[in-house]
Amino acid sequence: MNILLIIRWPVGGIQTYCKYVYSLPLFDSCRFTVVTTTEADEAYFRSAFGSKLGELIRLEEKAFSGASILRIARRIARPQLIHAHGFSSGILAIPTKLWMGIPMILTSHDILQDSQFAGVGGVMKRLALGTALTFSTVVNVVGNDAGQNLRSYFPRACSAKKLAVILNGIDVERFSEAQRRDLRGELGLAPDTLLMGFFGRFMTQKGFKYILDMLDQQRQRLAGPVHVVCFGWGGFIREEQAEINRRGLTGYFSFMPATNEMPQVLKGCDVVLMPSLWEAMPLLAMEALVAGAPLIATSCIGLKEVCQGSPAIVCAPGDSQSLLEAVNTFFRERAMREAEAEQYRGEAVRRFDRKRTGESLKSLYDSVVSPNGSLQCKAG
């Protein structure tokens, strides 16, 4: 099966999705031509796809267009399927889909909001996205919350018959079997200091602002000393660091580079913070739960779906007071919360295994490509 894979914005979540899913042996019968931007990490993608990768084509920003994708599709061995990851990828795939008459799957990895469709530009964006969804053979979403969100904006283009929900999954063996990294020792923290880990991008969506607000406005109400370790760069990290300095909070934070030892550092934190404002179906929450790391997360769309039935402490999104209460709850109930997180690991492994994600996606591929195939992939 020759598949043209289009990834217009290779952000962390989509890259990790590719690594978790396409590295599975069940895709060995597929050959992928991946079209992405020059910003994508070539070594990462080659590692993720391995021998399944026929060709990796990285286009400059100004060269990434519907016409360029069509030229690529006509040059390579005729693809049997287009899989566009992300809305902009789906929009740019329309000319190839129409010209070559092959099926297209559009996978949404995000949540839509009213602000995206404000003004004249928003109207044009809504029209373009609606067109991409309409011309897609199947619209794939990574969570039930994400599916309900997309259908609320495009009910006709995302009918129940056309929408395929395939829940995200992770490499559960890697996160359940890793050893703990001694972050406390590396940072020289006192034994009684609560080490909280923040692993999100420094974007509005991830809610880092509310950690600052909690420490700036309500630090006197914390039940004990705390320290936040952040991993990774990018986004608005310089602006966030400047704000930390402006508020006099430098001593509360340590910044470390992105790491390939995510399981080890998750286990090395006393508790993981996810103060997100919205998510589609977050991999980080799954990784923390499988690793047995206690989790404090908001009840925002997508994240509440992952945390449902888990021992995660849930607080309100966009509310530093609620976040403070959650942190203090962990202080009071730490031993119990740690034990519950450890006990839940088995259930987390069952819920979030990437093999189920891969099996459902491969089944979807087969049903779309087969002339007589029927879409049977409606649940994760």
The string of pLDDT tens digits covering residues 107-140 is 999 999 999 999 999 999 999 999 999 999 999 9
pLDDT at 147: 97
Instruction: With a cut of 90, say whether residue 379 has pLDDT above it.
Output: no
| pLDDT tens string 248-268 | 999 999 999 888 899 999 999
**Using the 8-state DSSP alphabet, how is residue 250 labeled?**
G
- Do 116 and 31 belong together in one domain? yes
> Do the Cβ atoms of 157 and 130 come closer than 8 Å?
yes
322 assigned to some structural domain: yes
User: What is the rounded distance in angstroms from the CA atom of residue 204 to the CA atom of residue 275?
Assistant: 10
Q: Please, where are the H alpha helices in 50-143?
A: 66-75, 87-100, 119-135
Whether 98 and 80 share a structural domain: yes
pLDDT tens-digit readout, 19-58: 999 999 999 999 999 999 998 889 999 999 999 999 999 9
Q: Is 374 inside any structural domain?
A: no
CB neighbour class for 257 (10 Å; exposed up to 12, middle 13-18, buried from 19): exposed
pLDDT of residue 11: 82
Q: How confident is the prediction for the chain on average, in pLDDT?
A: 94
Contact 50, 44 (CB under 8 A): no
Is there a domain that residue 376 lies in? Answer: no
> 380 lies in a domain?
no
- Are 157 and 33 contained in the same domain? yes
Is 224 in the same domain as 339? yes
Backbone angles phi, psi at 317, to 5 degrees: -70, 145
**What is the C-alpha separation between 163 and 150, in angstroms, rounded?**
10
Tell me the percentage of the chain whose pLDDT exceeds 70. 97
Nearest to 140 by CA among 157, 163, 159, 120: 163
Shared domain check, 192 and 71: no
Question: Confidence class of residue 372 from pLDDT cuts 50, 70 and 90?
Answer: low
Is residue 375 a part of any domain in this protein?
no
* Judgement on whether residues 321 and 294 belong to the same structural domain of the protein: yes
- Are 119 and 239 in a shared domain? no
- Judged against a pLDDT cut of 60, whether residue 378 lies above it is answered with no
147-205 pLDDT per residue, tens:
999 999 999 999 999 999 999 999 999 999 889 999 999 999 999 999 999 998 899 99
Interval 328-354 mean pLDDT: 97
Q: Which residues contact 244 (CB under 8 A, 6 or more apart)?
A: 212, 250, 252, 253
* Overall average pLDDT of the 98-104 stretch: 95
Are residues 150 and 220 located together in one domain of the fold? no
Confidence of residue 377 (pLDDT cuts 50, 70, 90): very low
Are 239 and 133 within one domain?
A: no
> Has residue 59 been placed in a domain?
yes
Q: Do 100 and 180 share a structural domain?
A: no
Count of domains observed in the chain = 2
CATH number for the domain that contains residue 20: 3.40.50.2000
Pair (73, 131) in one structural domain: yes
Q: Within a domain: residue 379?
A: no
Residue 190 lies in a domain: yes
Distance CA 273, CA 259 (A): 17
**By CB neighbour count within 10 A (0-12 exposed, 13-18 middle, 19+ buried), where does 329 fall?**
middle
**Structural domain harbouring 128:** 2-169+354-369
Residues 147, 254 within the same domain: no
